[in-house]
Structure 1
């Protein structure tokens, strides 16, 4: 018997029920898969978070260790360079013919004549030391009597025997440098800060005896100058110490040190010889671990953990220089270092929070991170600097107007051309940065920063000068009045005088590398640019680096002897170029002309330049004309012996033919706009400029 069919309404209800069961059957695995996906993702993220936390903390410690060791190496190199510069200066003064001749005359002079000669000798040495940070000098005879001095009151006084003996010992040492000492230990009753001595023995001609040249150096100024070459991070402390465990450099933490009662004499606002580097944990007042280790064993080979003299938990490294009896400690506060890792802990919490998000949210988050990473990579193409426009072309690179991302400071950024990339060119580019950074004269371009982009592009940042070059001026207006030429030459001489006193030769003095600007309300302020061909004639390694068989420089301004032998390089090659620049400014014409560089070089070797008096548009002072022609003499011996001789001739001429600030201001207000507008207009779109590197 057949079963009766189910009512239609009941059939529809059963269909809906089975459909609901079937949907639940398929949805449950999907939910389980989703939860499983979340669980697996959570485990991965937790494991990844723990892994990253461990390795990032380890990497941060390695980074600080690398930074501190880099600071240590940089300071060691700076110390050696400073010592070499100071001893070279003292040796040069001691061997000057004028100095030796005056000492010989003083020995046989009458009382009246002797005083006059001693005054002349003191003035000569004062002038030689004027471009250094020297605190003064003494010249004494073998009996300890002062023959010449910065302090004229010391002349003819006899130094204590202990001071004379100290000078003898220092002059016979390897580096002729004394330890840091209180000035009263050397010159009693003198209100001077702690000093160092550089003592050089002056051998008289014809075995007539000997003298000592003693240069007094202010320890605070000298050590500040050394540490300023390589500025450390705020978290990193750096200080020098002697064999007695006393700090011999000025600490930027003076206020904190004084507040902690660590100064030996709290009436003296200085840390030099005024802070005993004592281990705060030691009851017997033992030196801190770096001092003990340096004096007994030597340099630190790795990052060490210890308590600092300020009773802080620190990590540091150190070195000890036996020949100088000087040690250097570079350390970082461990707590401050760990505070820098706090963003990592916050990131870890954020990663745990992501466990509650769906897979889609994590994908979006990863996409955002990827976009952010792309932006960071693009931002770091040239470090912290955003390029705006190309403003110039140099011998080994292009110059761009840029802006620091954080400071918002306009900066001139020099970028090495990729097409010229080679080991030699890279070394030369690095040398340009390092040598220029050593120079601080107001008429020399200042360097701020240096770096290497991720794609291997070298660059350095220097001050941006709004102005125009002499080449731009001569191209627009032609010859320049002699009053203005004299004023400009004196400023260029000041820049070169500092460079030459440090043993550095520019090698590319020319109108495009001399810029006129308005700075702080001062018009016609000169800046000497592009030390890209600079040569350190006092450093054998740097000399080898810049010695090539090619001729570096611009043909119209290269001295003839360098055209014959590119290795020849001394201050007289810069003097020749300076004379060629003066010739160009006064006449509006080059010293030699030709259709190509070879013709110009041949003309410089074979022809005499047309006398300046025959090419100037208006008569000029005879002494100025003679000086220009003397500077461009084919024979180096016929040129001025050094920059100072040129300054001695130009300064009296400037008094006769002054170029006042009012003259300069009037000219700038009336004529400078066309020249300045050239600098403001980009020579090339930045995208094309970057592609051309």
Structure 2
């Protein structure tokens, strides 16, 4: 649908342009008509005025007519229908996608809230269970029976409270319970009778008082034989201050918690209650204070009356908006009511109702009714800020837990998503306009490309079949001779990417390679120019694999095969050197291995495009203009330095680097940049292949490779013939021959017409693997920042 819609817009654009041309002619005709109708008898001071008025009126009329005509032509052509439908569908898809993403985000927010709430809930329940277990164990300490029983007898005889305070049993009980201070983190303790009278405590002030009078908590459940943990409440008894900043000499009603358990006699009857005071700011709020997600998330506890039982994350803010008094001894715990003010107080707004008249928040109403829930749509919290939240009611302990987060923070990604969708829709409109404007130029380019394709289909006597390779400045096509039907590879240079110097170097490649006749050198059949002046040449079409792809696919080669292959490469280069040519770009990608004419592992040396004549001085200027030509991974130091004395020993150096690559699976030097590799080539000695390769390499081969890679040309083999002699001194020289090569090709390679990606193998593979179908038609190597010619 899209190509059709865009194509219709392009045609409409062309029609509109042609319409403008016709309307321009009409405007000029109107001007001529107006001028011919100017009265000749007008006074000289009126002529110009009348003419100017007529021209202005005609111009405005013509512009209006042109705009109207273009609009009517566009409406009649209906080319806008499909683009409009397409854009409408895109907008609908965008809104639908946005809706689905928002729903997914809501689900994710809900899951996050539930996870946080459940984590805190499990932590609280586990803590309560641990406290019950510990207080029960302490109350069962048999050492407490004697002192407690004696105090109960004293109370039964009517002994006064001041006598109880001085009784020796007080210190006995205190000493016993002090031993549990490391296990049970309590602030103080009390021992109570059934009617709630304190008969023992480490706080003498409390001895003799009755809890029934102060109504701290109900102890009936303890006398039923159960351990009890209270939630935080405000004690009516004046208790000493605790904490690092507290003054123990001062007393005031404080937030407290108690863990209580029954004390039993020898017959296991409940005789008293042991209650230990805990600090809720520390032990109870520990998990809640940690569960704060993002910048606004908080988790807190609250009572059935809707009073907060823990800390608030926003206590400083609550003081600023008037929900908390600015007093050091007052916090949100047991003071702040979880009520909905009806407005966002953090923005400066004021509530319409008094705090006591305000309803509980949506969350608190649901939780205090014993319900658990999640709300990701949003509701107001005790500050009036819209939040999302989850809550649960713990019936056993008679309080609720809630986790909340500001809705604006939770949905911040949705706001960003909406802006992205708006930008995408705007981009679609802009793209449509640009495409319609560019339609005319695209059609011209298509016609031009069609002409080039038609021209490439026939190059002299060769018919082009398909492209099989693409380099930085040229391409390689598969073709066949019109009469002989012989498969041929045709190489052409793209004139749009290559300058005059590159084209001249390209022609030199053909002229130099034509002089070579060695069977291991690629053969040139013909060359010429198309009618448009594009230079091309026809060469052998080789089905094979480059040494670079061979190592990447099958791993490093055994030493015997390296000698077998390099001997053929040296034969090709020996012929070139004998007529004064050096290759200067020897690398694994320019050496192809094939199985042809009954000869497996037959080598073909490719790409003499950088070859330099040692005899002709005229050709030297062509490469001198190029600064550095070649592949830095395999270039000799003197070639990098552009020394005029560079001779055939630069090819010897490159051959040494190729041998290193074949034996080890990697070049002698690697680096992140070309400059780093060049510095290695100039100043660094590589590690011997035997220390790098996983295969066994003889010391003779090590010596040959290191000699070829010597920075001084005088220390290298003087010629490729001398290099072959040195290679054949290796004890592995007879390990590879015709039979081994034939077996390898029959087991590992089948030629097929496949895509380029089919022969991209794992470079870490071993040399002998299962048979594989590979395409070897790519005659050029893709450019990369290191292996660059």
- Relative to the length of structure 1, the TM-score reads 0.43
The structure with the greater share of residues assigned to helix is 1
Larger radius of gyration: 2
- Relative to the length of structure 2, the TM-score reads 0.38
